[in-house]
Chain A
Amino acid sequence: MCLAIPARVVELRDGDLAVVDLAGVRKEISLALVEDVALDDYVIVHVGFALSKLDPEEAARTLALFAELDGSTAP
């Protein structure tokens, strides 16, 4: 229901603001809802706000799960 996209933080600005980049498209967004965001982190962006950080290790694990599939029993 809620359109949100993962984007990379490329600039940190004053006042809880940051600039994110998605394939060359840049947008200023608010970090007011998250904490400890650093440059090059990926955040989930919805209506101009970062909702959470994206965990790269968990993302890799999830993809590996799709790929291994055969014989996988764990969810």
Chain B
Amino acid sequence: MPAPKNRSSLGRALDLKQGRIDLAHGSGGRAMAQLIEELFARHLDNPFLAQGDDGAVLPGADGRLVMATDSHVISPLFFPGGDIGSLSVHGTLNDLAVMGARPLWLSAAFILEEGFPLADLARIVESMGEASRAAGVPIVTGDTKVVERGKGDGVFITTTGVGSLPPGRDVSGRHARPGDVVLISGTLGDHGMAIMAARENLGFETPIVSDSAALHGLTEALFASGARVHTLRDPTRGGLATTLNEIARQSGVGIVLDEAALPINPAVAAACEFLGLDPLYVANEGKLLAIVAADDADAALAALRAHPLGARAARIGTVQADTHRFVQMTTTLGGRRIVDWLNGDPLPRIC
């Protein structure tokens, strides 16, 4: 996206208070150039974007590269603890982190709906800039398109990330082995319940805040502990239960959880009670699931707990041999049950 250097040729500045996206902003002309310069480049400013070309020239990286991409269509766009912008940055960073990679660069593509308020867009992009800077990973290139009113949900964002994988690291959902220990970095269900509570048609007031965060600092701390890390995941849509079922299937093992060990905030538990939801199936956006060799579990847990994002880290289960690949749980009552795959998005129920 070329950005003309002579600002005065673009005319009046963008009205970031009252203005709205219109089709001209996506048509490649003066309006789009202005949008890029006064909104995107301003908040996402870094040497790569400042090159002002259609693509970013990147320095070479050592060793293997990892690439990941994520699209974000969340509603509501703004919620306690974040917004679609910060979420889109954290989501892709985390996809790289759970591969064991060190994130290097991000791209961001926007599909904007005609009529979308510029004030909201500015807020979102500013949030992305903050998330990117806090993570130390620049957004080096991007794209903007505009669709007619009614053909989009305000804004859709797709982020892609590239990271480098240090030699010797081999983290995969296929590597869980019987005897391994299952660790979680903190409380379950915060993000999903923050979103659910923010939906105005449900009318709940809660102190619940999304846990949206970048996890690559936490993963590096885990690797630095020397623990043999077999699998890493961030349990997003479908919650911990879905993630564990995926891993069990990939690795051909069973998993047994200890319900009493699961860290859950009281407000999240309460909100789930109101709506008949199970925290095991509710999305997280800043939590790390780690499956590690049994002998290294203590060191791994200590490393997580020493990091600000892992203060509530806990040992929650073990991997066992199981041809059926069930994920089971010992309940707080002392009984047993399966923790099955999710059957569609969790919906509030009355019975």
A-to-B contact residues, CB < 8 Å: 1-3, 5, 22-28, 45-47
* Chief secondary structure at chain B's binding surface: mixed
**Cα distance A24–B208 when bound, in Å?**
9
- Selected A-B contacts with CB under 8 Å, 8 pairs: A2-B350, A3-B349, A22-B273, A23-B267, A23-B269, A25-B267, A25-B270, A26-B206
Interface residues on chain B, size class: 10 to 19
Contact of B271 with A by CB under 8 A? yes
Contact of B60 with A by CB under 8 A? no
B-to-A contact residues, CB < 8 Å: 197, 203-208, 266-267, 269-271, 273-274, 276, 349-351
A26 to chain B: which residues have CB within 8 Å? 204-206
Is B274's CB under 8 angstroms from A22's CB?
Answer: yes
Is A25's CB under 8 angstroms from B351's CB?
Answer: no
B208 to chain A: which residues have CB within 8 Å? 25
**Shortest beta-carbon distance from B263 to chain A in Å:** 15
Is A28's CB under 8 angstroms from B267's CB?
Answer: no
B197 to chain A: which residues have CB within 8 Å? 25
B271 to chain A: which residues have CB within 8 Å? 25
Identify A5's interface contact among B205, B207, B273, B351, CB under 8 A.
B273
**Cα distance A9–B273 when bound, in Å?**
17
A2 to chain B: which residues have CB within 8 Å? 350-351
Is B266's CB under 8 angstroms from A3's CB?
Answer: no
Known: A2-B350, A25-B274. 7 other contacts (CB 8 A): A22-B273, A23-B266, A23-B269, A24-B270, A25-B197, A25-B270, A27-B274
